[in-house]
Amino acid sequence: MQTILIVDDEVNIRFALSLALSDDYKIIEASNGIEGLEMFDKYSPDLIITDCNMPILSGIDFVREIRSKNTSVKIIAHTSNVYFSKDNEMLIAGANLCFSKPTSLAKIEQAIKFLLEDKESL
């Protein structure tokens, strides 16, 4: 079973994503970028879903740190509409895809399948 790391300071978002994805993937959660780095090192997930605006370590810095360790892990970033301008920064930092919140679960699931099934994509 493939592993997904969800890094978001909003517990409701982590819960909703975990609930929706747990039948098909092993889910690991972190509430900030520092915890996310620890979980990444411990579990080596296949894909990461991360928020952009988080306390302690921003999503942009988190993605940069992940990319310095691993260039092949797939990363989906999501930003609130308030931080829509951060989308390009997340992509430059190394995210494969970036969505604005709220994003439909179907869209996230489609992106996950695309990224995990096509190892050469993006």
> pLDDT for 42-74, tens place per residue?
999 999 999 988 889 999 999 999 999 999 999
pLDDT at 88: 77
User: What is the secondary structure of 5-26 as a DSSP string?
Assistant: EEE-S-HHHHHHHHHHHTTTSE
Helices (H) and strands (E) in the chain, counts: 5, 5
> pLDDT for 10-28, tens place per residue?
999 999 999 999 999 999 9
User: Which CATH fold would you assign to the domain 3-97?
Assistant: Rossmann fold (3.40.50)
Alpha carbons within 13 A on the beta-carbon side of 58: 11
Q: Where are the domains of the chain?
A: 3-97
Q: Is the dihedral of CA 73, 112, 7, 59 positive or negative?
A: positive
Q: Has residue 120 got a pLDDT over 90? A: no
The whole-model pTM stands at 0.91
